Amino acid sequence: MTGATQIETTFREEHGRILAALISQLGDFALAEDALQDALVNALERWEVDGVPRNPGAWLMAVAKRRAIDRLRRAALQERRAVILDPLDTQDEPEMDDTIPDDRLKLMFTCCHPALALEAQVALTLHTLGGLSTQEVARAFLVPVPTMAQRLARARSKIREAGIPYRVPPAELLPERLDALLAVIYLIFNEGYVASSGDTLTRRELCAEAIRLGRVLVALLPELQSAEARGLLALMLLHDSRREARLDATGEIVLLDQQDRTCWDQAKIREGTAVLDEALALNDPGPYQVQAAISALHAEALTPEATDWRQIAALYDTLAKMAPSVVVEVNRAVATAMAFGAPAGLQMLLRLEGQADGYYPYHAACADLLRRTDQREPAAHAYQRALDLCGNVAERAYLQRRLDEMLNLEGYKKQ
């Protein structure tokens, strides 16, 4: 590792932890961020010359505290009044503390507070906990840097002005706030996993960052409250195991049943499955665990034919009760068709009529099941409707091929 990359890795790894501890000590989000920024600039200059210190985190923490004091003194001078700087002011050179308390959970809950806009929650989480620079967050979400800088500044000022607390929420608020936190982490993951735009490298980084945040969360939450966090981590690991098989050489999406399963990352599948087992052992079921279980069943099948569709269909039944949505219903119908035959699935889909009109997978699923039950004309109609709505090249190619098939067969029959 070169000096520069080692410094960068250290920054990334230590950023969230140091910032979280600094906010606790200073009681001021913005001051902590500014002081850490100063320390990072300082480190960049010093470490290039002296090398990375033995405990870089403690070094950054000590320097950041000193910079915070400097900033407070300067501010006090400007206001021409004395400032009381209790515990911090008592020592000129703060000691190097090897054990930085881990307050990242507080920081996560503050960044994902529902009083902040969702896009601000995501940006703030990546910036403070992931150590991504404003430029990097802006690039990941394809917004101009000044826009992202403003979004972050506004979020920071709302935290201060509105009195958003810096703490792990009390028991009565925890379930609701934890849901919001998990949603933000999953959103970051999905942004990297299914993003329709942005370069591959940034996308990969977002997935890695979401998984890292998931691990931190699982490590810091009380075990009894961690089932869904573990479920989410398992889900992300299992999805990510298929990363290499999911895109072809031209960057287009390859559908699950056509993926080269030898490209699936077995280490990630093993880890994902193990994390899921830990989650399930806690006996506190939730939608992330169910989705992870579905993903695990796909991961365990060596061939598409070996997929345990009956179990998957049953899991979708459960998911539909826990977190009802059109997306779940369409997947549930497809799984039912795979497990119990096309007519059963088709029946479920037809019940959704009117609710899913703008959702192309609905029309694609209808079309496939109509085709398999020999209803060619309605199938052709549904393929056309799906094609009209679908923007994905690989999916479009599939839908077009099927549509042509239906039309040719129909022409043949009429002759």
- Binding site residues, another protein, CB under 8 A: 113, 115, 161-165, 169, 173
In terms of Cβ atoms closer than 10 Å to its own Cβ (0-12, 13-18, 19+), residue 317 is middle
C-alpha 372/C-alpha 337 separation (Å) is 10
Nearer to another protein, 92 or 172 (CB): 172
Nearer to another protein, 156 or 332 (CB): 156
Q: How far is the CB of 391 from another protein (least distance, A)?
A: 36
Compute CA distances 113 → 104, 222, 230, 252, whole Å.
14, 19, 21, 36
Nearer to another protein, 113 or 151 (CB): 113
**Nearest residue to 184 via CA among 274, 291, 298, 107:** 107
In terms of Cβ atoms closer than 10 Å to its own Cβ (0-12, 13-18, 19+), residue 63 is buried
**CB within 8 A of 344, min separation 6: which ones?**
336, 337
Nearer to another protein, 162 or 350 (CB): 162
Q: How far is the CB of 161 from another protein (least distance, A)?
A: 6
Backbone angles phi, psi at 92, to 5 degrees: -70, -45
Nearer to another protein, 115 or 263 (CB): 115
Measured from the Cβ of residue 130, the count of other Cβ atoms closer than 10 Å reads 22
Q: How far is the CB of 28 from another protein (least distance, A)?
A: 14
In terms of Cβ atoms closer than 10 Å to its own Cβ (0-12, 13-18, 19+), residue 8 is middle
C-alpha 82/C-alpha 108 separation (Å) is 34
Q: How far is the CB of 35 from another protein (least distance, A)?
A: 23
β-strand partners of 247: 253
Nearer to another protein, 165 or 175 (CB): 165
Instruction: Confirm if 240 and 207 have CB atoms less than 8 A apart.
Output: yes
C-alpha 107/C-alpha 25 separation (Å) is 13
Q: How far is the CB of 39 from another protein (least distance, A)?
A: 28
Q: Which residue is associated with the tokens 């990630």?
A: 268
Q: How far is the CB of 163 from another protein (least distance, A)?
A: 5
Residue 52 corresponds to which tokens in the numbers above?
Answer: 């990375």
C-alpha 19/C-alpha 32 separation (Å) is 6
Q: How far is the CB of 128 from another protein (least distance, A)?
A: 18
C-alpha 366/C-alpha 373 separation (Å) is 11
Q: How far is the CB of 114 from another protein (least distance, A)?
A: 8
Q: How far is the CB of 115 from another protein (least distance, A)?
A: 6
Q: How far is the CB of 312 from another protein (least distance, A)?
A: 39
Nearer to another protein, 179 or 405 (CB): 179
Nearer to another protein, 164 or 238 (CB): 164
**Nearest residue to 276 via CA among 322, 314, 310, 241:** 241
Nearer to another protein, 158 or 381 (CB): 158
Residue 213 corresponds to which tokens in the numbers above?
Answer: 């945040």
Compute CA distances 84 → 21, 25, 161, 181, 243, whole Å.
21, 15, 22, 36, 54
Q: How far is the CB of 259 from another protein (least distance, A)?
A: 45
Nearer to another protein, 114 or 341 (CB): 114
Nearer to another protein, 62 or 155 (CB): 155
C-alpha 338/C-alpha 125 separation (Å) is 40
C-alpha 371/C-alpha 367 separation (Å) is 6
